[in-house]
Amino acid sequence: MNLPININDLLTARTVEWERLEFKAGWNPEKVLHTMCAFANDFHNLGGGYIIIGVGEKNGRPVLPPKGIPAGRIDSIQKQVVELGYRMVPYYHPIMAPCEINGRHILVLWAMGGQTRPYKAPVTLSKGEREFAYYIRKGSVTVRAGYQDEVELMSLAATVPFDDRMNQSATLDDLDLGLIRAYLKQVKSDLFEESAKMDFVRLCRRMNIVDGPDESVCPRNVGLMFFNDDPSRFFPQMQIDVVHFPEGPGADYFTEKIFTGPLHVMLQDALAHIRSTVIEERVVKHPDRAQAERFFNYPFAAIEEALCNAVYHRSYEIREPIEVRILPDRITISSFPGPDRSISRKDMREYRFLSRRYRNRRVGEFLKELEMTEGRGTGIPKMLRAIESNRSPMPSFHTDDDRSYFLVELPVHPAFAEAMAHEQVTPQVTPQVTPQVLELLNVLQGEMTRSQLQERLGLRDRFHFRDAYLLPALEYGLIEMTIPDKTRSSKQKYRLTAKGTAYAEARE
């Protein structure tokens, strides 16, 4: 079967969410046509979906063993699917894969998000019927798009997600067969065995990682991200920087490790490095009970979710890396840009991240098949469960009014913070800072605006003040904003933090 995913995973819905699956016990061409149209429109940028013909469903789960399709009908149904594709406007055809499960024949249609959306299909297949409509997925069902949905669908017409676009600066030689086969083996795809003898262009088309006519085939961006040894040649700053500040960002010593390479390999390597060098376990024995208490400085599952989400949702058109900062009291993970505007600040404070748009539908599709992310807003609940289980403090999420960045902050477990405090004879509060920052601390009294601080310092150039004085002091954690959620507010003021106060008092 020529699918880049194992059929058993589809039937158990382990790696593809229910919203992207449709089971059909029998052949119903009209319903299949409407669902094909909905997956092609890919209203939520999830990468389309799968229609499995010959398998019924009950309460949202497949009925196994499958009912199946008579072997003699498989070929005629495939021909009818082709005919249905020509009845859509513009025409569209899914990838078809017959296979056998428990001795029964079924047909899988892989209906990917189309490049020329929006698509519409006949409302019925009755003879003489000329009414067409747009169809989309809403949850687990296919529905006819309403007026507002049609308007939004039209707005997507000229927008093919960046990861699904052809890259005309690359050639077929830039895709590595070894990386492709390693991926297929890892996801247990039935395509793995056939890939050893299959024509390379046909293999890439089956995986939907190339586009264009046979005489001018070009890789899609997602193909280069996953199946090229050095994707940064095509996507500068496609990397994960892990920076460790053992004594805080103001100290002279820090270590930095940069992870590059195929996207999933880069992500796996960065996570392995964090697990081996950062995660610590502490065991506390209690005299009144036999069972000891175990906890970690950070729950690794929470870090994993945050970093996977950053890889999934960042923009690969922005030339900025994902940065992981390991500080004495917290870990921060930052990426660019920020979350979709459909997620409000209130949603973020209440840990609700249900976006109506996914920036990288194909990246998400590949990560889901690798079981590295789940999508559809399940990552944050998983992160919170891991944090609660470890009894760690709740995370915080930061962005600005322009949604130009997104930062996840994971505080260290209180027991580790307390232990670090006991181990230090004197507080480690930024032992060395620049003379400019020292001048700023000396003049800052109470809460002051930027212009007031510049006046006290006798500075006219606001950009020099920002770069040499203000930003370093904020970075060191010596001062803070009074309105951190609105960095550009005209009412913004600055004040000393507890760390800044302690540092100032220590110098007196």
Do the beta carbons of residue 60 and residue 141 sit within 8 Å?
no
Note the pLDDT tens digit of each residue in 28-77. Answer: 999 999 999 999 998 887 778 899 999 998 887 888 889 999 999 999 99
Token pair belonging to 221: 């961006």
**For residue 33, what is the enclosing H or E element?**
helix 29-41
More confident residue, 13 or 102: 102
Work out the mean pLDDT of the chain and round it to a whole number.
Answer: 86
- CA count, 13 A, side-chain hemisphere, 300: 13
More confident residue, 151 or 449: 449
Q: 58: domain CATH number?
A: 3.30.950.30
**Predicted confidence (pLDDT) at residue 426 exceeds the cutoff of 50:** no
* 392: confidence class by pLDDT, cuts 50, 70, 90: very high
Q: What pLDDT score does 499 carry?
A: 81
Q: What pLDDT score does 425 carry?
A: 39
In a domain, 273, yes or no: yes
The winner for highest mean pLDDT among 167-176, 344-353, 358-367, 368-377 is: 167-176
Whether residue 114 is found in the same domain as residue 216:
no
| Domain's final residue, options 374, 399, 423 | 423
In a domain, 270, yes or no: yes
More confident residue, 82 or 339: 82
Task: Give me the amino acid identity at 454.
Answer: Q
Residue 127 neighbours by CB under 8 Å, 6+ apart: none
CA 307/CA 332 separation, integer angstroms = 10
Q: What pLDDT score does 507 carry?
A: 59
Q: Is the peptide bond before 118 cis (omega within 30 degrees of 0)?
A: yes
Q: What pLDDT score does 128 carry?
A: 76
Note the pLDDT tens digit of each residue in 232-289. Answer: 999 999 999 999 988 877 777 788 999 999 999 999 999 999 999 999 988 877 666 7
Task: Give me the amino acid identity at 432.
Answer: Q
Whether residue 207 is found in the same domain as residue 118:
no
In a domain, 312, yes or no: yes
Do the beta carbons of residue 204 and residue 217 sit within 8 Å?
yes
Task: Give me the amino acid identity at 148.
Answer: Q
Q: 501: domain CATH number?
A: 1.10.10.10
> In 91-140, where do the E strands start and end?
95-101, 104-111, 120-122, 132-138
More confident residue, 423 or 81: 81
Domain of residue 337 covers: 240-423
In a domain, 428, yes or no: no
Q: What percent of the chain is modeled with pLDDT above 70? A: 89
Lowest mean pLDDT among 160-169, 367-376, 492-501: 367-376
Whether residue 377 is found in the same domain as residue 345:
yes
Whether residue 336 is found in the same domain as residue 440:
no
Q: What is the mean pLDDT of residues 299-319?
A: 93
* 306: confidence class by pLDDT, cuts 50, 70, 90: very high
Q: What is the mean pLDDT of residues 293-313?
A: 92
Whether residue 320 is found in the same domain as residue 456:
no
| Domain's final residue, options 228, 263, 285 | 228
Residue 347 neighbours by CB under 8 Å, 6+ apart: 353, 354
Q: What are the distances in angstroms from CA 53 to CA 23, 186, 336?
A: 6, 26, 41
Note the pLDDT tens digit of each residue in 151-208. Answer: 888 877 656 788 988 898 899 999 999 999 999 999 988 899 999 999 999 999 999 9
**Predicted confidence (pLDDT) at residue 1 exceeds the cutoff of 50:** no
In total, how many domains does the chain have?
A: 4
Q: What is the mean pLDDT of residues 124-139?
A: 88
Whether residue 319 is found in the same domain as residue 379:
yes
Tell me the three state secondary structure of residue 401: coil
Query: DSSP per residue over 249-316, as a string?
Result: TTSS--EEEEE-SSHHHHHHHHHHHHHHHT--EEEE--TT-SSPEEEESS-HHHHHHHHHHHHHHS-T
136-139 contacts at long range (C-beta below 8 A, 24 or more positions apart): 136/38, 136/41, 136/43, 137/19, 137/20, 137/38, 137/39, 137/43, 137/44, 137/49, 139/19
Whether residue 220 is found in the same domain as residue 309:
no
CA 159/CA 151 separation, integer angstroms = 14
* 429: confidence class by pLDDT, cuts 50, 70, 90: very low
In a domain, 429, yes or no: no
In a domain, 412, yes or no: yes
Q: What pLDDT score does 53 carry?
A: 95
